[in-house]
Amino acid sequence: MSEWNRRTFLKTTAAAGLAASAGTLVDPARLEAAPAASFSIRDPLGVRDQFPVTRDRAYLNTASSGPIPIPVQEALTEYAYERMMYHDPGSRAEATLRARERFAGLFGADVDEIALLYSTSDGENVVANGIDWRPGDNVVIDELHFTTAFVVYRELEKRAGVELRIVRAVDGKARPEDFEAHTDARTRLISVAWVSNRNGFRHDLPTLAAIAHSHGAYLFADGVQAFGTFPVDLHAEGVDFACGNGYKWLFADFGCAPLYVRRQHLEWLQPDRFGHRQVARTLEGNAYELTTTAGKYEYSNPAFAPVVAMDASLGFLADVGLDRIAEHTHTLAQELREELTRLGRQLFTPAGNPSPIVSFYHELDPTTLADALANSGVVYTFQEDRRLLRAAVAMFNTRDDIDRLIQVIARLA
């Protein structure tokens, strides 16, 4: 067998399309053979070359799963080499520390307020299980929240006698005044999807935080559709807890979910599971002193490959700039909303909404529409029994991607 080294490994795995993790693969041979794109090469943020998926598709599905860029794929390939050769195992710990630091720096938190969990649902469970509920307490969510919240708090209703109060959406919005009407002295938690996966509606967190805190309650934000789409300062938002994941707008991978716990809550919010990772100091008699930072929610080893992807992706996002990403994607999303309105389509996403997600009633046969979009290379998500189509505009998308979707809708109308 020929001698293996890092360069040989990288070259061989790239040519073969070897999976370094569950992330999207970059196969240079396939890319070189790919036909020239049929749409414009305009690239306002200078990132399209880093996302090979753009070469043959109008990828409007980041709200479901974001494709990883080349720098993330390269980081995962290097990690796979290290795992194969046990070349530099210390790099795992370095990447974990760096990912935590980068997330805190990019999103306005302190490093010791950040834990790296496995999923956004983990974060919601940590918070829900850490509150000392009493029968008759209530939690307030809205109908635009993600499914996990309904499951978690319906279980709390059965186990702890907690009342789940659900704010109804009006014209695609969950309005602050309706949260206020549902909140009282027995409210312990308001939980929202910061940006809704259903229609992209974006909550005003400072307003919700003020409502929660005025009643002695806390605010949790599911940030999986928010982190990476606009500049964020978690301290300024007033939110008590927030959690996201790497596989959507952070362009990393499944399995690394940063949880933010505001410093003042670290002492009382206890972990809901325990393990070796939380140990700060070993005492006599097999007793242990646990860490007091957000690291106490990390009960076991992280999924190192997703952490490596997160580390690389956060560096990539910082270089591009969240302000630039927001300006570009929100402008394109507004243009998409305007075109759909011109075609007479009813929007589920509210007007003037500052997020990159657009959801609308297509009013077409879903099978015919799906076939036409597939033939045009448009990637999207159907919702609500296929009556709704959700498009998500990412940093690598252009007006030409939007036009490909609009042209199909117009042709079939």
Which pLDDT value is given to residue 31? 34
pTM score: 0.89
Tell me the mean pLDDT in the region 322-338: 97
Question: In whole angstroms, how far apart are CA 382 and each of 53, 61, 252, 391?
Answer: 20, 10, 23, 9
Tell me the mean pLDDT in the region 142-162: 97
Amino acid present at 77: T
Would the pLDDT of 20 be above 90? no
State the virtual CA torsion across 49, 52, 56, 58 in degrees, nearest 10. -80
And the tokens for 4? 């293996």
Which pLDDT value is given to residue 86? 84
And the tokens for 37? 């794109």
Amino acid present at 358: V
Amino acid present at 389: L
Would the pLDDT of 165 be above 50? yes
Would the pLDDT of 32 be above 80? no
User: 303 falls in which pLDDT band (50, 70, 90)?
Assistant: very high
Would the pLDDT of 122 be above 80? yes
Which pLDDT value is given to residue 172? 97
Would the pLDDT of 319 be above 70? yes
Tell me the mean pLDDT in the region 210-219: 98
Percent of the chain exceeding pLDDT 90 equals: 87
- For tokens 């008759």, name the residue: 136
- For tokens 């809550």, name the residue: 265
- Whether 140 and 151 have beta carbons less than 8 Å apart is answered as no
- For tokens 């596989």, name the residue: 247
For 358, list phi and psi in degrees, rounded to 5.
-130, 125
Give the domains, in start order, of the chain with CATH numbers.
90-318 (3.40.640.10), 322-412 (3.90.1150.10)
And the tokens for 409? 């809708």
Which pLDDT value is given to residue 88? 76
Tell me the pLDDT tens digit for each residue of 57-107: 999 999 999 999 999 999 999 999 999 998 777 788 899 999 999 999 999
Would the pLDDT of 188 be above 60? yes
Tell me the mean pLDDT in the region 141-164: 97
- For tokens 């657009």, name the residue: 358
Which pLDDT value is given to residue 90? 79
User: 214 falls in which pLDDT band (50, 70, 90)?
Assistant: very high
Least reliable range by pLDDT among 90-94, 248-252, 380-384: 90-94
